[in-house]
């Protein structure tokens, strides 16, 4: 998280304003945590197949518990499901196959839920995901203009 905060500060200085942060799977959890820690530096968060509403049913749960031992206790898991202090979008797929799709979306009015087709592992190359991300980023640019 220290490295992410440092990079966010660098990008904000280059951009001259808040940055849109996009995260895939666990990266979405990190993006949400970054928004909680640095709300003045994050303009919006876009998560893709990110199970931020815990607990989540997943076939890789044993691996997650094992990997959790390596992560900082500074990441507040309960806070991840709380409404963000910035606008957000949660892109999810009911065909995920890795995490429960219900844990990847929010009913929070500040978080747009966007459903796409495809699997968890295909999200990084899914044209529907690219379109949804591009749409959110362009909407943010229009709002800033």
Half-sphere exposure of 118 (CA within 13 A, CB side): 18
Q: Compute how many other C-beta atoms are within 10 angstroms of the C-beta atom of residue 74.
A: 9
Residue 108 pLDDT grade (very low, low, confident, very high; cuts 50, 70, 90): confident
| pLDDT at site 82 | 86
pLDDT in tens, 22-55: 999 989 989 999 999 999 999 999 999 998 886 5
pLDDT given for residue 26 in this prediction: 86
Total count of residues recorded for the chain: 145
Rounded Cα distance, 56 and 25, in Å? 12
Return the structure tokens found at 114: 């966007």
How many C-beta neighbours within 10 Å does residue 124 have? 12
Q: What is the pLDDT of residues 56-106, one digit of tens each?
A: 666 656 665 665 565 556 666 667 778 999 999 999 999 998 888 988 998
In CATH terms, the superfamily for domain 2-6+17-144 is Alpha/Beta hydrolase fold, catalytic domain (3.40.50.1820)
Q: What is the pLDDT of residues 121-144, one digit of tens each?
A: 999 999 999 999 999 999 887 777
What is the spatial distance between Cα 94 and Cα 14, in angstroms, rounded to a whole number? Answer: 37
pTM of the model: 0.87
Host H or E run for residue 89: strand 88-93
Model pLDDT, residue 7 = 95
Residue with tokens 């196959």: 97
Domain ranges of the chain: 2-6+17-144
Distance in angstroms (rounded) separating the CA atoms of residues 83 and 95: 25
The residue whose two tokens read 């959110």 is: 136
């Amino acid at each position: 998280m220290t490295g992410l905060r440092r990079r966010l500060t660098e990008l904000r200085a280059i951009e001259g304003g808040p940055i849109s942060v996009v995260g895939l799977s666990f990266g979405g959890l990190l993006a949400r945590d970054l928004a909680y820690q640095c709300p003045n530096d994050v303009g919006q968060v876009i998560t893709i197949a990110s199970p931020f509403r815990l607990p989540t049913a997943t076939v890789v749960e044993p691996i997650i518990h094992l990997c959790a031992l390596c992560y900082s206790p500074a990441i507040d898991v309960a806070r991840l499901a709380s409404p963000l202090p910035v606008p957000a979008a949660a892109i999810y797929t009911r065909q995920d196959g890795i995490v429960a799709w219900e844990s990847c979306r929010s009913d929070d009015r500040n978080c747009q839920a966007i459903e796409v087709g495809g699997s968890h592992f295909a999200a990084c190359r899914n044209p529907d995901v690219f379109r949804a991300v591009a749409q959110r980023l362009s909407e943010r640019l229009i709002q800033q203009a």
